[in-house]
Structure 1
Amino acid sequence: MERREPRVLIAYGTTNGSTAEIAERIGDVLSKEGCVTTVRSADAAWRSVAEYDAVILGGALYMGRWHRDARRFARRARRELTARPVWLFSSGPLDPSASDRDIAPVPGVRRIAARIDARGHATFGGRLDQNARGRMARMLVNSGKGGDFRDFEHISAWARQVADEIGTAPEGPAGA
């Protein structure tokens, strides 16, 4: 029996683009590890989950809540997500804490993870710069709390770990 490359959807919810860049890095790493990847905004991707063997869903954190598009994706695609391996990630802390230690998912993401039986979750540092949209975001930047706290080595290491798990997971619905 011939083994084919697993197809992985990396979907994300973002406002200022930082989480999209994290998703792109995850997609690059998985591609190098032998997966066929598609990176797409959660708003545009929820209808196509059935085409993939595994899904990685990420969302930016704003005031302790996951981005609306990521929450909607999880709700709309719940049936398809429970039928395949899923990993979640959050981006948001505007400090180096996410690189220093594991940060548990916020309560809403923890509930989503339980509903879809996610295999794992990681929190990565966020980015907030002077081009950020929204009054609150601009206030944070103007008060000196902005910056780029994403650790792409940490993100890449997590993505390689997920790729290893995908490689050993039984073939999902898309290959059936």
Structure 2
Amino acid sequence: MTAQALAGALADDGRRRVFAAIVLDGGDLAAVAARAGLPARQVATAVRRLADAGVVVDSGDELRVDAERLREAARTAGPPSRSEDPEQRVLRTFLRDGVLVSLPAQRGRRRVLLAHVAGSFEPGIRYPERQVDELLRRWCDGGGTDHVTLRRHLVDECLLAREQGVYWRIGP
């Protein structure tokens, strides 16, 4: 079990309530549902998800937390890295598999992300708007922003220049 899988399993309020009810006293599905104050169907779904993540063991007649797997996840995750480069932290937070999850609200973080995206353009080469859009769509495909907004931010931050529908990268 990875820390990410654990976080995903416990990301939902209902699943956290079910997990807490199991931690407090275990028991069968009906007892956990009563303790969590949730409908049995919702509890069954939550238990299935928690069991798939490896956090809960459902032996059929009793639900319990798999404490050993939690300890293992804690050992393998290790302490959070404080020495990580702040720019890398921004990229890790806002990029997933080369796609923008969202644009940061803070200008400094947004600038880091935009500078990374601007690296897609070769300095000194002029790009027609259609080609710029094509390159930026790759960054936005299925993500939390669109290529037009991204293009506007790149121009606003003076990472790309624009004149008569032609764009080029500014700087190194």
Instruction: Give the helix-richer structure, 1 or 2.
Output: 2
TM class by shorter-chain length? under 0.3
Compute the TM-score of the two structures, normalised by the length of structure 2: 0.23
| Higher relative strand content | 1
TM-score by length of 1: 0.22
Q: Which has the larger radius of gyration?
A: 2
